[in-house]
Amino acid sequence: MLLKDYYNQQFVERFAQALSEHYPAFNREGFLSYVTKEIEGKEYSQRMNAFSHAFDWFLPDYSETLKIFSKLFGQELKSFSAMYSDGADYAPIGRYVELHCGEEPEHFQQSVDFIKELTKRYTGEFAMRSLIRAFPQRTMNVLMEWSGSDNAFVRRCASECMRVRLP
């Protein structure tokens, strides 16, 4: 199975169920209808963007949405090799944060704290790149701190987000 195919109708249904458990005002049916239609026949990045657009329309503002997403966090990863398997459920969240964190200067610290927790379960490197572009000095200060973290996933994020291009 291709990675993009993981984000199918069954995934959308599971994700919508999880959101509805933590956000009672969630329009589950509207979300399901929109995302299911938008991901059909699309590539991975287009599917992630569809989720992000749906989060914009069906969830509250950025700050409140991060609080909801935090409630979805499960156990931290046990190995780097599990990042894109065990952590795959968090990819749409990562894309949402990547697209919005640089637009929210008043929520810089909330974004940083969220990304730090996200990267223990998936990866926060793409979102951190958005913060580097938007707030270079503030973000570099965070990355210097993270580079000395006891958590290997946080240290990895501090270095990986600095890469100019992926291999």
H or E element that contains 38: helix 28-39
Cβ proximity of 36 and 12 under 8 Å: yes
Q: Among candidates 114, 121, 124, which has minimal Cα distance to 161?
A: 124
- Per-residue pLDDT tens for 6-45? 999 999 999 999 999 999 999 999 999 999 999 999 999 9
Query: What's this model's pTM, rounded to 2 decimal places?
Result: 0.93
DSSP type of residue 78: S
Residue with tokens 């959101």: 19
- Per-residue pLDDT tens for 86-140? 789 999 999 999 999 999 899 999 999 999 999 999 999 999 999 999 999 999 9
Residue 167, pLDDT above cutoff 80:
no
Cβ proximity of 108 and 123 under 8 Å: no
Residue with tokens 């569809």: 50
Cβ proximity of 42 and 50 under 8 Å: yes
